[in-house]
Amino acid sequence: MRRVLNRVCLGVVTFAVLVMLFLALIAATDGAGGGLAAWLATLLAGAGGVLGLSRHSRWRARIVSLLPVFVATALTATVFIPSVPTQRRYPADLPFVATQRWSLATGSRVAVYHYPPAPGHPEHTTPLVYLNGGPIRGISLLDHRFLQLLAGRGYDVYAYEQAGGGRSDLLPMAQYTIDRLVADLGAFTDRLHEGPVDVLGFSSGAVVLIRALADPQVAAHVRRAVIAEPGPMDGPTARIDGHPGRPTARGLAPAPQGPRSTYIPRYAVVFGLMRFGLLNFDNGLVGQAEGANAFTAADLGSDTASAYCARDAHRIPAEDSAENFSFNAAASLRVRQTIIDSPPIAPQLRRSGTPAMLMIAECSAQVRQWETTVLATDPAITRTQYLPGVGHHMWNGLDDNNARAADVVTAFLDDRPPPLPNYPTPADVPAFLEDQR
């Protein structure tokens, strides 16, 4: 009995060591040959090691000792098997809005959506451009409904999916940078041929907008800027050790339904190693197109829950459909890394003259100091709107949240009095942070 137990324990240890060796070799070889190099090295090392240690045993015992090697190599072999197409599979066009495809001067080819002003409503002469979050994520159906609401109020609304996201064409991995996203915004406004535009940037889209305001050439195209729930604007801001807003639904909401790519060994290995910086974004194991095809809305379940207030944990709406959802995880991680690695933009942002508004949600997982740093740095922020009762995704379709967010946005764009107090102002920031608002 003791001998059997020892063999079982040794087999478990052998299996665990080989799996860890395989993961280490995947990282060391950057997934070369689709992971085949790491797999063969693991097989040879495992078989050679076990046979060498059992060389004085009988042949039956030697075969039994090889079982953990066979199991480990069989399991790791699943990393070679794609479960989705390896060529980019774009979402089908939406039935309620035409998908235009524009080639920008930067070389990006992006999917564009246009919601013209609804007839019978006062028309606003300045186009409104929407920059969605992600980054490198498709525009959700929830966001499309909010854009329709703005168009229904007479605004000429344009939105485009960043290169590599949604229905937009992919870029080479090295070209996914925050500076490229800013350049694409400038090229997009040039392509409109409408003069200065208003821009609403949400989450990482707000970061693109902030950095555009710090670039005089791009900022010249922006009449008014709405900065909604921004992430860190540069490297120094990304390294701020701050606190988020009021409690969110993360950890409280039911687990999202639907398939997850991270339950499949191939994609769990790739996305996990990339997230921890152990695998290059442009690796030899899973290509960018396959990774974008594989990622599902359920993979972002905890991130989605963090965009809602704790009180809304059991009524989080479906933000998107499986047919429309798109997230390019590798490109997104690369863009975020370029933000972390970027130098400070505060000196340039302090010279901004574009009238801007900052929108802050009460129940936000965003670090408050990311938002207050923008407020302290950009002298052209003329109002701040702190929206009670909503999370990071402020226009979320619950209650009257879409209408309230639209009231805040349109009041600023029309230079009307704000529907909410101008709070926090720069003078309010110390107390705002101390109260952990």
Which CATH number do you get for residue 372? Answer: 3.40.50.1820
* Domain span holding position 154: 100-255+306-434
The angle formed by the CA atoms of residues 333, 335 and 336, to the nearest 5 degrees, is 65
- Largest Cα–Cα separation, the chain: 91
Q: Are strands 100-103 and 109-115 parallel, antiparallel or unpaired?
A: antiparallel
**Helices marked H in 193-294:** 204-213, 216-219, 235-238, 265-275, 288-294
Instruction: Looking at the structure, tell me whether residues 68 and 125 fall in a common domain.
Output: no
Contact present, 232 and 370 (Cβ < 8 Å): yes
Instruction: Looking at the structure, tell me whether residues 22 and 64 fall in a common domain.
Output: yes
Tell me how far apart the alpha carbons of residues 135 and 80 are, in angstroms, rounded to a whole number.
28
**Residue 314 located in a structural domain:** yes
Nearest to 63 by CA among 49, 51, 81: 51
Tell me how far apart the alpha carbons of residues 24 and 38 are, in angstroms, rounded to a whole number.
8
**Residue 418 located in a structural domain:** yes
pLDDT of residue 37: 86
**Helices marked H in 153-214:** 178-192, 204-213
Q: Which among 80, 110, 141 is the end of a domain?
A: 80
**Residue 284 located in a structural domain:** no
- Both tokens of 10, joined, read 């040794």
Torsion of CA 16, 22, 27, 29, to 10 degrees: 160
pLDDT of residue 124: 84
Instruction: Looking at the structure, tell me whether residues 49 and 164 fall in a common domain.
Output: no
Contact present, 213 and 345 (Cβ < 8 Å): no
Condensed to tens digits (0 to 9), the pLDDT of residues 68-77 reads 777 778 888 8
**Residue 174 located in a structural domain:** yes
The identity of residue 437, as a single letter, is: R
**Residue 92 located in a structural domain:** no
Tell me how far apart the alpha carbons of residues 268 and 19 are, in angstroms, rounded to a whole number.
14
Nearest to 165 by CA among 139, 142, 146: 139
pLDDT of residue 21: 86
pLDDT of residue 53: 56
**Residue 53 located in a structural domain:** yes
Domain count, the chain: 2
Contact present, 288 and 173 (Cβ < 8 Å): yes
Instruction: Looking at the structure, tell me whether residues 67 and 110 fall in a common domain.
Output: no
Instruction: Looking at the structure, tell me whether residues 219 and 324 fall in a common domain.
Output: yes
Residue 307 DSSP class = T
**Residue 283 located in a structural domain:** no
Instruction: Looking at the structure, tell me whether residues 67 and 108 fall in a common domain.
Output: no
Instruction: Looking at the structure, tell me whether residues 191 and 73 fall in a common domain.
Output: no
**Residue 249 located in a structural domain:** yes
Instruction: Looking at the structure, tell me whether residues 336 and 205 fall in a common domain.
Output: yes
What pTM value is reported for the model? 0.93
Instruction: Looking at the structure, tell me whether residues 66 and 108 fall in a common domain.
Output: no
The identity of residue 415, as a single letter, is: D
Instruction: Looking at the structure, tell me whether residues 239 and 368 fall in a common domain.
Output: yes
Residue ranges in the chain whose pLDDT is less than 70: 1-8, 10-11, 46, 49-66
φ/ψ (deg, to 5) at 159: -140, 145
Instruction: Looking at the structure, tell me whether residues 39 and 134 fall in a common domain.
Output: no
Instruction: Looking at the structure, tell me whether residues 147 and 17 fall in a common domain.
Output: no
